[in-house]
Each structure stands twice: as C-alpha cells, then as structure tokens.
Copies of this chain bind each other. A is one copy, B any other.
Amino acid sequence: MIRKNSTILRIIDGLAAAGQAGILVRKFPKGHLLIGQGTAVTSVFFIRSGIVKCSFAEDEDKEYILEFLGEGQVLGEIEAISGIPAVSSVRAISDLSVYMFDRESFLNLLQRREDLNGAILLLMANRLADTAQRSARQQLRPLEHSLSQLLQALEHEKLPCTKQELANYLGVTLRSLNRLMKDR
C-alpha cells in the first residue's frame, strides 16, 4: 500500500555520509507541497522518513491519488529524466525528512554510479508494474473488492489520511465509499 525501498535509502545514506556534493537534508511539515502538478521540477527528493501522497487533479475539485510513498522512495525523478513538467502533485501527509538533489547532481550520479542507476531502474520497473496492475484491477473488479484489499492493507500500516483521501485513492466519491463501508 505505501511503497518503500530500503536499497535506495542505503545507497543515498552512503553517498551523503561520504560527503557527496549536491545533497541536502531537508525537513518539511505535514501538508507541505513538494511538487506542484504542471510546474517545472528542479529538485529530486529521496524520502528518509514520513509519507507523501502523489495526486493528479483535473478540475481543481476532484483529485485522484496515484500512490502513497514512504521511506526510500524517490520524487521528481520522472521529471528530472524526461524534462517534462510535473505529472502529479506531491504533498506530505506526515512530517517529512528528505534528501534533496538538484536535477543536475541527480542526473550526474545516475550516470556515474552503477548501483544507483540499477536501483532506479528497478524502482521504476516496480512502479510501472504496480501502477499498471492497480489501474487494471480498478477497472476490472468491483469497488467492493478494491476496498476490502485496501482495508486489509491498512490494518498493518496506519495511514494518516482522511476518508475523502481514501475515496480519492479508490477513484470514487466519498458517498460511495461510505455506502460500501456501511453494508459490508
């Protein structure tokens, strides 16, 4: 449910400890917007601790939550690599501690460090697989199924988010979510 990746965090920890240039440690409070959909992204973030939501909006009023990311996950790498404006917004839903790279440093390291390169390839492959699978399941299965999966996942890890956000993650209205919750 909340994606994590300890391999990458270890690599970055190592780089930071070795005094690699271009890495900053930053902290952000819950609610802080790290990346705004449609804007240019100039930094790449690696989550040290905390949770963010990646969400996509079209109308201002409706949002769809693409994923929740936790420890070791990377933010802004897609935009850094492809040069396009941010695909989604990224907002902290708990207090956050991150490593922050400027774009050039990140791309440089990605070329020079084979281990980082491999870890990022792997992370992107996993994300693609997960995203595709979730997208497909949401189309194929009834809402009830996605919901019970979600609730089961939430028993193990608590997610500091509202019910509206859960609905936005499931791609339905809050009303529908409540209905399902009631008559289970």
CB distance from A174 to the nearest CB of B (A): 14
Complex interface: stretch among A19-27, A59-67, A151-159: A59-67
Report how far A137 CA is from B56 CA in the complex, Å.
9
Please determine whether A131 and B135 come into contact, CB atoms closer than 8 angstroms: yes
Please determine whether B122 and A82 come into contact, CB atoms closer than 8 angstroms: yes
Report how far A114 CA is from B111 CA in the complex, Å.
8
Number of this chain's copies in the assembly equals 2
Q: A66-B132, A81-B122, A125-B78 are in contact. Are A139 and B171 (CB under 8 A)?
A: yes
Please determine whether B135 and A84 come into contact, CB atoms closer than 8 angstroms: no
Please determine whether A136 and B66 come into contact, CB atoms closer than 8 angstroms: yes
Please determine whether A84 and B128 come into contact, CB atoms closer than 8 angstroms: no
Report how far A45 CA is from B130 CA in the complex, Å.
21
A64 contacts which of B62, B121, B122, B140 (Cβ < 8 Å)?
B140
Please determine whether A132 and B81 come into contact, CB atoms closer than 8 angstroms: no
Chain A contacts with B in 111-169, Cβ cutoff 8 A: 111, 114, 117, 120-122, 124-129, 131-141
Report how far A136 CA is from B56 CA in the complex, Å.
6
Q: Which residues of A contact B (CB under 8 A)?
A: 56-59, 62, 64, 66, 77-78, 81-82, 84, 87-88, 110-111, 114, 117, 120-122, 124-129, 131-141, 171
The 4 closest A-B pairs by CB, nearest first: A139-B171, A56-B136, A135-B135, A64-B136
Contacts A/B (CB < 8 Å), 26 sampled = A56-B136, A56-B137, A57-B140, A58-B137, A58-B140, A58-B141, A64-B135, A64-B139, A64-B140, A66-B135, A66-B136, A78-B125, A82-B129, A87-B128, A87-B129, A87-B133, A88-B132, A111-B114, A121-B124, A124-B124, A127-B128, A128-B128, A131-B131, A134-B135, A135-B135, A139-B171
